[in-house]
Structure 1
Amino acid sequence: MSPAAIALNRFGLGARPNDAVPGNPGHWLVDQFARFDPRPAGFAALDDAGAAVKQYREAQRARRQMAKQDGATAELKAGRQDFRQDVQALYRAGVQARADSALATEAPFVERLVHFWSNHFCVSADNAQVTAFAAAFERDAIRPHVLGKFSDMVLAVEQHPAMLIYLNQIQSIGPGSPAAMRNPDRRRGLNENLAREIMELHTLGVRSGYTQADVTEFARALTGWTVDGLGGGKADSGDPDRFAFRPGQHEPGIRTILGRRYPQDGEMQARAALMDFSHSPAAATHVATKLARHFAGDEPPPAMIARLADSFTRSGGDLPTVYRTLVASPEAWVATPVKFKTPWEWTISSLRGVGHRAIGGIQVAGLQTQLGQRVWKPGSPAGWDDVAASWAGSDALLRRVEIAQRLAAPLASSVDARMLAPRLMPASLRAATADQIARSESPAGAIALMLVSPDFLRR
């Protein structure tokens, strides 16, 4: 791969037919920081998730009252079904907005970083309430902070309704809290899910030295962190789009986490621990490792990890500083393709490659389900895998062939793959691939062949 092809395809989201080949690829990448749109039109136009959740809860409360009076349980089931349909429509609109932004952006490197961080701090839209907030999570917690401080992104992520609902934090109550003392027979108690994933996945990383006792202590510090408008009683009158702290659910007392005492009161206790995690050497190494893996290969180079971690530490977690170190790392510019595209990466690069500037009527959510990487639905708090072994199986490749043929069919009379392929992979298209494209029996076949060629499948 040439440096220009690496900038367009490894760092970016894939070249477009009329994109100028960057003369100085490194400068072209860094210059995108000034061109990134944190709130593109599609995301800004999304319906309010909190309003949908609140309306549903109010309607269900009324239906429950009716059911008590006349046993109309069918109304409750119908209400749940209507809500599921509403949030699925909101989810599909969010996926379309994400794809539109990826196709139209003039800052594809930064847009890729949005997708990277959205997977790092993932939620999984496997229940209706998380599904409602999934698009808003990327829009409001990731996009505004992708060019900011890591610690600011961490705080926005952990206080977002999607994360608090997904990891059951809204159910966590301190066992010694006023709420627990008033209702000793309630089933809800301390929930450690958010505390564990913050430490293991979001900041410190696995095997970074924390213990189960640290997780439990941090979970106690987090009690009271919840979503406004959820929780029953008077709490339901709030706004589900907002974070809330409920002192009555907070476990009182000083917490000791990783050998450090946190005497802060209320919300600030967990926040102080979270900031310490975010600025720790372990977080620097964890973030550096994942960035190096994403841009320099499934087995990230140790020297590159060390360089990125040092940049993270010296800058206090300033992400643009870390990205500049990334762009300056020779390991990310090796000529051999180092990554196999995930289904999302392949879909976006294919659509960009054949000239789509907007998603139009293409249903991206359905495409990603067929390809095995549903948007915002990784199935686990660890997110989608970022290694070739998870995506390069024969069945997965066959699905890409089928979709490539569908994408190519309407373009047969307007796109010449023989001319297009060298533009998408400047100075990098292998002679064997060019020959196979030229030998294709039809224009549509040539386009499909280009999209599933080894040159295009890797970056």
Structure 2
Amino acid sequence: MTVDPRRTALGLGRFGLGARPGDLARDEPVEEILRREVLAAVVPMPGGPDLAAAPTLLSALRAEEQARKLARAGSPDGPMPAGPPAPPIPERTYRAEVAARLALAQAAPVGFVERLVWFWANHFTVSVARGPQLRVSAGAFEREAIRPHVLGRFRDLLLAAATHPAMLIYLDNVASVGPNSPAGQRRGAGPGKGLNENLGRELLELHTLGADGGYGQDDVTALARILTGWSLQRDGNAEGLPGATAFRRGAHEPGAVTLMGRTYLDIGPEQLPMALADLAAHPATARHVAFRLARHFVADDPPPALVARLARTFTDQDGDLSRLALTLLESPEAWDPVQRKVRSPQEFVVAAMRGLALAPDPRLAMAGLASLGQPFWSAPAPNGYPDEAGTWASPEGLRTRLDVAARTGQLAAGTDPTAFADAVLGPLATDETRTALRRAESRAQGIALVLMAPEFQRR
């Protein structure tokens, strides 16, 4: 098969994390490179001394908070600690998680699977903005609930995300108690009291059926009842650390529940997996997932034929996410030569880092992403970061990108701008961009011009 350099550049930007030096010179069709990454079924896992399991991190956080309280209650005349205090566990853990994610992004040969991880982590959003418990567990959520299932079955991903400690904390399910459960009766809760519907609502509206998926308020309440009892270990015991997911039978609402026309008997912890498996197999879920995937990779208003094909694959292949990814790559609509999507801030920063072969600098990346409005795991609401071009291409957003591009150009002032354009854009570079490069007053300015070129900003 003849290799089309333009198609290679387009594919590495649209489906991957951006070209690195030498990537555009590959003599293999980009479709095969991308397919092989999916078929290998290897999802990179970040590593590092601070990347513990969520229960371990939550337990350590609780111990740190208790130690801080004891220190405050102690004598003010005690000895002063030597040197500056170490960063608290939430900040130290968050920095380590960011560093690990950046290292994976830099090392990825193409990054299609890594992009899928990012997509699904945003689909099942948890946010560090909710406090220290989420700041220590949001990265663990991605490692433990998303990555192991990103090329597996959607129902397994759904269950792992819904029952992870970070999600139970983020959407307040740890505070949900069945009104008629033993715990609810001890509290004297009346009908409806003690039941928290946040997780149930978002599971239906955002994670499975979609806002137009045919569910009603009764279904939200029904799923919230099924979710009661799903909480965290309070104290360490033989079953797990404090902070591990636990099903507390005494807080679970008793009785059968009817959800989306199906009745689920009160069979303890198995009630939830059965309900979620049915939601995962629902036709509305197939359409919702297909639309969001097509919107993310192809266009804000994706071609209906592409959405229909993805939904059909989702249904026919029993929610096999690897087959869904392959169908996306095999669809002609996904290869429209017009670059309709704007790179999100995270995609922009990582693509620049890869193209310039810069060593990942977590502090600089965190500062840049904060100014651009997309820090890792920090979406302002459960629907995640926006996926529409207009969100990131506002006048203010572009001015901030220009500032980030200028600072990046200074960091990479030793790089030849023309060689950089050839490496990351190749045949996508327009005459206007190349003319601007010839007129650049410095190498740093030339690098910034490439980073701000429409063909680099879009994918």
Normalising by structure 1, report the TM-score: 0.91
**C-alpha deviations, 1:265-288, integer Å up to 9, x for none?**
111112211110011111100000
**C-alpha deviations, 1:335-368, integer Å up to 9, x for none?**
1111011111101111111113x41465322221
Report what 2:348 is aligned to: 346
Report what 1:78 is aligned to: none
Return the alpha-carbon distance in structure 2 between the equivalents of residues 61 and 264 of structure 1: 38
Name the SS of the counterpart of 2:231 in structure 1.
strand
Aligned pair partner of 2:304 in 298, 302, 305 = 302
Return the alpha-carbon distance in structure 2 between the equivalents of residues 206 and 383 of structure 1: 15
Report what 2:428 is aligned to: 428
Displacement after TM superposition at 1:435 (Å):
1.1
Report if aligned partners of 2:254, 2:266 keep a CA contact under 8 Å in 1: no
Code of the residue aligned with 1:453 in structure 2: it is A
1:96 equivalent to 2:99? Answer yes
1:129 equivalent to 2:130? Answer no
C-alpha change, 1:208 and 1:97, in structure 2 (3 Å) is same
Return the alpha-carbon distance in structure 1 between the equivalents of residues 71 and 146 of structure 2: 41
C-alpha change, 1:312 and 1:56, in structure 2 (3 Å) is closer
Displacement after TM superposition at 1:45 (Å):
5.4
Name the SS of the counterpart of 1:88 in structure 2.
helix
Return the alpha-carbon distance in structure 2 between the equivalents of residues 36 and 98 of structure 1: 19
1:396 equivalent to 2:401? Answer no
Report if aligned partners of 2:19, 2:351 keep a CA contact under 8 Å in 1: yes
Return the alpha-carbon distance in structure 2 between the equivalents of residues 3 and 59 of structure 1: 52
Aligned pair partner of 1:109 in 91, 109, 112 = 112
Map 1:265-280 → 2, pairs under 5 A:
265-280=267-282
**C-alpha deviations, 1:92-126, integer Å up to 9, x for none?**
21111111111111241111111000100010111
Structure 2: segments with no counterpart, 5+ residues = 79-84
C-alpha change, 1:61 and 1:14, in structure 2 (3 Å) is closer
Code of the residue aligned with 2:26 in structure 1: it is V
Report if aligned partners of 1:54, 1:229 keep a CA contact under 8 Å in 2: no
C-alpha change, 1:58 and 1:43, in structure 2 (3 Å) is closer
Displacement after TM superposition at 1:54 (Å):
1.9
Code of the residue aligned with 1:200 in structure 2: it is E
Displacement after TM superposition at 1:63 (Å):
7.1
Report if aligned partners of 2:200, 2:224 keep a CA contact under 8 Å in 1: yes
1:167 equivalent to 2:168? Answer no
Map 1:279-428 → 2, pairs under 5 A:
279-356=281-358, 358-360=359-361, 362-413=363-414, 415-428=415-428
Code of the residue aligned with 2:103 in structure 1: it is D
Report what 1:3 is aligned to: 7
1:457 equivalent to 2:457? Answer yes
Return the alpha-carbon distance in structure 2 between the equivalents of residues 304 and 40 of structure 1: 31
C-alpha change, 1:125 and 1:355, in structure 2 (3 Å) is same
Moved more, 255-264 or 1-10: 1-10
1:157 equivalent to 2:158? Answer no
Displacement after TM superposition at 1:5 (Å):
1.3
Report what 2:150 is aligned to: 146
Report what 1:79 is aligned to: none
Report what 1:204 is aligned to: 209
**C-alpha deviations, 1:168-213, integer Å up to 9, x for none?**
0000000000111223269971100000000000011111110101
C-alpha change, 1:22 and 1:92, in structure 2 (3 Å) is farther
Report if aligned partners of 2:50, 2:93 keep a CA contact under 8 Å in 1: no
Report if aligned partners of 2:45, 2:147 keep a CA contact under 8 Å in 1: no
Report if aligned partners of 2:141, 2:161 keep a CA contact under 8 Å in 1: yes
Report if aligned partners of 1:177, 1:248 keep a CA contact under 8 Å in 2: yes
**C-alpha deviations, 1:241-296, integer Å up to 9, x for none?**
53110000000000001111101411111221111001111110000000110122
Return the alpha-carbon distance in structure 2 between the equivalents of residues 144 and 253 of structure 1: 33
Displacement after TM superposition at 1:393 (Å):
1.2
Normalising by structure 2, report the TM-score: 0.91
Return the alpha-carbon distance in structure 2 between the equivalents of residues 83 and 176 of structure 1: 46
Structure 1: segments with no counterpart, 5+ residues = 76-81
C-alpha change, 1:123 and 1:89, in structure 2 (3 Å) is same
C-alpha change, 1:410 and 1:368, in structure 2 (3 Å) is closer
Report if aligned partners of 1:33, 1:107 keep a CA contact under 8 Å in 2: no
Return the alpha-carbon distance in structure 2 between the equivalents of residues 114 and 220 of structure 1: 30
Report what 1:229 is aligned to: 234
Report if aligned partners of 1:228, 1:236 keep a CA contact under 8 Å in 2: no
Report if aligned partners of 1:36, 1:105 keep a CA contact under 8 Å in 2: no
**C-alpha deviations, 1:370-402, integer Å up to 9, x for none?**
111121011100000001111111111111111
1:120 equivalent to 2:105? Answer no
Name the SS of the counterpart of 1:427 in structure 2.
helix
Return the alpha-carbon distance in structure 2 between the equivalents of residues 11 and 55 of structure 1: 38
Name the SS of the counterpart of 1:226 in structure 2.
strand
Report if aligned partners of 2:297, 2:341 keep a CA contact under 8 Å in 1: yes
Count of residues in correspondence between the two structures:
445
**C-alpha deviations, 1:198-235, integer Å up to 9, x for none?**
000001111111010111011001101112237xxx88
Report what 1:243 is aligned to: 245
CA RMSD of aligned residues (A): 2.6
Map 1:437-448 → 2, pairs under 5 A:
437-448=437-448
Return the alpha-carbon distance in structure 2 between the equivalents of residues 175 and 2 of structure 1: 61
Aligned pair partner of 2:33 in 17, 20, 28 = 28
Report if aligned partners of 2:95, 2:362 keep a CA contact under 8 Å in 1: no
Report what 2:81 is aligned to: none
Report if aligned partners of 1:36, 1:107 keep a CA contact under 8 Å in 2: no
1:259 equivalent to 2:261? Answer yes
Report if aligned partners of 1:157, 1:163 keep a CA contact under 8 Å in 2: yes
Return the alpha-carbon distance in structure 2 between the equivalents of residues 88 and 386 of structure 1: 27
Return the alpha-carbon distance in structure 1 between the equivalents of residues 173 and 266 of structure 2: 20
Report if aligned partners of 2:200, 2:227 keep a CA contact under 8 Å in 1: yes
C-alpha change, 1:44 and 1:142, in structure 2 (3 Å) is farther
Return the alpha-carbon distance in structure 1 between the equivalents of residues 424 and 287 of structure 2: 34
